[in-house]
Amino acid sequence: MLTEESRFGGTLADLATARAASSCRSSRKDFIVEEYQVHETLAGGADAILLIVAALDTGTLIRLHRWQRSSGCRRSSRFTTRSSSMPHTRSAPDRRINNRDLTTLAVDVERTYQLLPDVQDGPWSSPSQGIRRHAQLAQLTAAGVDAVLVGEALIARARIEAATRVLLGSQA
């Protein structure tokens, strides 16, 4: 969930409300750059934080991850693993493919297929973004993707539940 109010219109209260209303895992997707944001995220009930490797130096990334772990939380941190302008590293736990190029903000689902061989040989999960159709979801599942990140395809719909059912291949 995006909680950055001025750019995305979300709030930490929205995160807490969503968490209370659902048993689904939740993640705060804002750019986390300080320890206090980790504390806010955990207090809001999120199961995960997003630490964007391309936006953090190595020391800050390690510090934030350690702080999150030392706060008593056993929730996994999410790390955006690579955009086209960023080297791939194997030092961060629970790494993820980000289909959004962080320099241009363009989304390319094909990036998942390009990077999937690199992430299948370790403790990785591979959610993607830019998923808009059931056929895309089915192809990614067949390729071994175990989770996807879906946002825009659902939040732009008047009937989110119906849109979710269509995406999953169920009756609307």
For residue 165, the domain's CATH number is: 3.20.20.70
Domain match, 68 and 27 both: yes
Q: For the chain, first and last CA: distance in Å?
A: 24
Angle at 98 between CA 34 and CA 86, to 5 degrees: 75
Same domain, 95 and 172: yes
Q: Based on the fold, state whether residues 149 and 103 are members of the same structural domain.
A: yes
Residue type, 133: R
Together in a domain, 15 and 36: yes
Give the whole-angstrom CA distance, residue 11 versus residue 44.
Answer: 10
Residue range of the domain that includes 11: 1-80
**pLDDT under 50 in the chain at which residues?**
74-93
The answer to whether residues 162 and 101 belong to one domain is yes
The residue among 46, 80, 114 that closes a domain is 80
User: 50, 80, 110 — which closes off a domain?
Assistant: 80
Q: What is the predicted pLDDT for the residue at 135?
A: 92
Calculate Rg over the CA atoms of the chain. 16
Do residues 172 and 94 both lie within one domain?
yes
Instruction: Assess contact for 140 and 131: CB atoms under 8 A.
Output: yes
98 and 133 in a common domain: yes
96 with 127: CB under 8 angstroms? yes
CA angle 55, 31, 52 (to 5 degrees): 40
Total domains present in the chain: 2
For residue 121, the model assigns a pLDDT of 60
Q: Which residue has the tokens 């980790």?
A: 38
Statement to judge: residues 75 and 127 lie in one domain: no
- 100 in the same domain as 42: no
